[in-house]
Structure 1
Amino acid sequence: MGLDYYGILQLPRNSTSLDIKKAFRNLALEFNPERLSHESSQQVFNLICEAYDVLGNPLHRAVFDQYGEEGLKGGVPGPDDYIKPYHYHGDAMKTYKEFFGTASPYADLMDYLLHPQRLYDLPEGKGMCKKQPPIRHQLFLTLHEIFFGGVKKMKIQRLEYIGPEKTKTEIREKILSIPIKPGIKAGTEIIYPEEGDQNPAHIPADIIFITEDKPHEHFIREKNNLVTEADITLQDALLGTTITVSTIDHRTIRIPITDIVCPGYEKIVPGEGMPILESPQERGDLVIRFNVEYPPYLPKASRNLILKAFYLAKIGGGKNQQEMINKMVLADKIMRVDPDEQLPPFD
């Protein structure tokens, strides 16, 4: 049976984020190795810090709640992509410093939050405030959202001031409206200045959303182009066919394939790709790549006909092949006419 991080922090599973922080604060101070001399304190301290590293992260906590320590550290399938295995960095004091802002075993930040000094009593309140580092979130967008654009709503939780004195904070939810421009590129950063936790000692952090394409069932975006694959038979590859494609904007288009589909061949359909960010009225191209399915078996008669066709194409030098094939078909028809029914030759 794996580790029970809730048990390590002495918490029920329905604990809030603030409950987890309070529990970690109390236990981390109690078992800080600099305060305790016995050897087991370091091991307990390491477990406490690892438990907070998991439960203090919403994604890690969600995976742990559903799959336990084994699923968390082994990796599990997610709704959009495979969730990579979690590995604790192993530096318990690093987790301690990130939480308390110091390595001191006598840090008492929770008392500070419960009984904060007034802003003007702090050194930072005298023009020395330091801005918190930015908070980055991935923003997954479907190709449909990228194609049409619009507004995406994201809910965040942050500490906000309460009361006119702005010396106390509490956790509140806020909805951010994120504008999505048609054709927005993957990796675009959308910045919301100072939307992080409010704190008398710091300037709130910027929240940055970084866009990323969500996998689509049929299409892949390559710059402004949409790429899809089509499965065709060898007959279609040699003789031509028509491909039906359902587009992102809910249309059905039929694309005739008249060229011979050879390895590396791509069919380009102009103007059927994604909108171009700098000029949304223009669009990239649709690129169709082919998977040719070969027949598992050919009768000897079919092989002989194919061999004859390639022979005629070869002796034609690769030119006027259509004329050569027409002559072959005409000669074959003449040979099939009964000699008694053939017309006499002209004198």
Structure 2
Amino acid sequence: MGIDYYGILQIKRNSSDLDIKKAYRNLALGFHPDRLEDPCTLQVFKLICEAYDVLGNAMHRAVFDQYGEEGLKRGVPSPDGYIQPYHYHGDGMRTYKDFFGTSSPFADLLEYYINPKPMYDLPEGRGFKKKQPAIRHTLCLTLHEIFFGGVKKMKIQRLEYIGPEQGKTEVKEKILSIPIKPGVPPGTEIIMPEEGDQNPTQTPADIIFVVEDRPHEHFIREGNNLITQAEISLEESLLGTTITINSIDHRTIRIPITDIVCPNYEKLVPGEGMPIVDQYSEKGDLIIRFNVIYPKYLPKASKEMMEKAFYMAKIGGGHNQPEMINKMILADKILRVDPDEQLPPF
């Protein structure tokens, strides 16, 4: 079963923060070791202080409400990462002193509650509110969402005021609409101002979403460019082929490969990458990298024919003679034209 911290403080599970503080104050004063001489008092006092240390902390209380003492002290996973196990430091007097400002049980503590300082003497009464630290979340977006942009809906839970007097808060769900610009780069921070927990003495925190690319099946984004890989045979790498690619915006692109595909060769297709942020009409490039699949076996006759082909290329163009190679390619293209379509000689 584990320890029931609500039972120790003798309060209900839906008690407010003020109810928790009142219960702890009464019990801590009543079971203070300097008031009672019973040796069991110290252990009871520590349990009371531990119960307040858990329920007085919003995160610890939320974990305890969902997973109990076992989950709280073992640690649990969360959407933002692993929540570390909770361990009470064991010094009840330290908790008592942090709460009351003194370790003495005989101090005139009621004076502050009976005659509190006027609000205008406090910074909050003069209109000054300290802003809570920003809350950061990772926003994973698909390349499709980044390409088109739009609005991303995210559900959050936060403390909101109850009633017109705004004296109490409770956890409520809220849907945030996050604007996504086409082509937004990874690491971009999208700020939702003051969407954190509401608090009468503090300004709600900003919620910051940090953009991160979700892995895609075929594409990788590098800056504004898209990188993809195509598999071709050795024959296609030497004789040419046509690559068919389905783009992010659901178009079919056919790219002819007429060059010889050598190691580290890349085919660049201008304007088929990701939109450039704030310049939607302009896009990056598509870069195709190749993986050449070699045949596992070649018959002897095929090897002899390839040997003759490479020999003819060697004697016709030679090594390091690009001009001669270009003339051979031009002559080869001319010979491929149908005789009926050839221009008459001058």
Q: TM-score, normalised by structure 2?
A: 0.65
Matched residue, 2:155: 155
Q: Cα distance, 1:313 vs. partner?
A: 2.3
Matched residue, 2:222: 222
Q: Deviations over 1:253-299 (max 9, x none)?
A: 11001111111111100011111113111111111111111111112
* Percent identity for Structure 1 against Structure 2: 57
Is 1:309–1:325's contact at 8 Å kept on the other side of the alignment? Answer: no
RMSD, matched Cα: 4.6
Matched ranges for 1:19-58 at <5 A: 56=62
Q: Cα distance, 1:127 vs. partner?
A: 3.6
Q: 2: CA distance between counterparts of 1:216 and 1:132?
A: 36
Q: Kindly indicate whether residue 132 of structure 2 is the aligned counterpart of residue 132 of structure 1.
A: yes
Is 1:119–1:167's contact at 8 Å kept on the other side of the alignment? Answer: no
The number of residues matched between the two structures is: 279
Matched residue, 1:338: none
Is 1:273–1:283's contact at 8 Å kept on the other side of the alignment? Answer: yes
Matched ranges for 1:13-162 at <5 A: 56=62, 86=82, 88=84, 104=96, 107=99, 123-162=123-162
Q: 2: CA distance between counterparts of 1:237 and 1:8?
A: 70
Q: 2: CA distance between counterparts of 1:211 and 1:120?
A: 43
Q: Which runs of 5+ in 1 are unaligned?
A: 1-5, 12-16, 97-101, 109-116, 331-347
Q: Deviations over 1:138-185 (max 9, x none)?
A: 111111111111111112211112223222212222221111111111
Matched residue, 2:107: none
Q: Cα distance, 1:103 vs. partner?
A: 5.2
Q: Cα distance, 1:89 vs. partner?
A: 7.5
SS at match of 1:183: coil
Q: Kindly indicate whether residue 272 of structure 2 is the aligned counterpart of residue 272 of structure 1.
A: yes
Is 1:159–1:170's contact at 8 Å kept on the other side of the alignment? Answer: yes
Matched ranges for 1:218-297 at <5 A: 218-297=218-297
Q: Kindly indicate whether residue 187 of structure 2 is the aligned counterpart of residue 191 of structure 1.
A: no
Is 1:245–1:252's contact at 8 Å kept on the other side of the alignment? Answer: yes
What letter is aligned with 1:173?
E
SS at match of 1:138: strand
Q: 1: CA distance between counterparts of 2:266 and 2:240?
A: 14
Q: Cα distance, 1:323 vs. partner?
A: 3.7
SS at match of 2:309: helix
Q: Cα distance, 1:8 vs. partner?
A: 6.3
What letter is aligned with 2:263?
P
Moved over 6 A (4+): 8-11, 24-27, 34-38, 52-55, 117-121, 324-327
Moved more, 117-126 or 303-312: 117-126
What letter is aligned with 2:305?
L
Matched residue, 1:180: 180
SS at match of 2:245: strand
Q: Cα distance, 1:106 vs. partner?
A: 6.3
Q: 2: CA distance between counterparts of 1:91 and 1:7?
A: 14
Q: Deviations over 1:8-64 (max 9, x none)?
A: 6689xxxxx979x99x9999x99xxx99967xx89xx7xx97xx978957xx98xx9
Q: Relative to 1, partners in 2 of residues 1:257 and 1:142: Cα closer, same or farther, differing over 3 Å?
A: same
What letter is aligned with 1:248?
I
SS at match of 1:280: strand
Rg larger in structure: 2
What letter is aligned with 2:154?
M
Q: Cα distance, 1:239 vs. partner?
A: 1.1
Is 1:271–1:282's contact at 8 Å kept on the other side of the alignment? Answer: yes
Q: Cα distance, 1:212 vs. partner?
A: 1.0
Matched residue, 2:205: 205
Is 2:153–2:177's contact at 8 Å kept on the other side of the alignment? Answer: yes
Q: Cα distance, 1:128 vs. partner?
A: 4.1
SS at match of 1:205: coil
Q: 2: CA distance between counterparts of 1:123 and 1:235?
A: 79
Q: 1: CA distance between counterparts of 2:133 and 2:285?
A: 40
Q: 2: CA distance between counterparts of 1:137 and 1:248?
A: 26
SS at match of 2:199: coil
Matched residue, 1:313: 313
Q: TM-score, normalised by structure 1?
A: 0.64
SS at match of 1:248: coil
SS at match of 1:218: coil
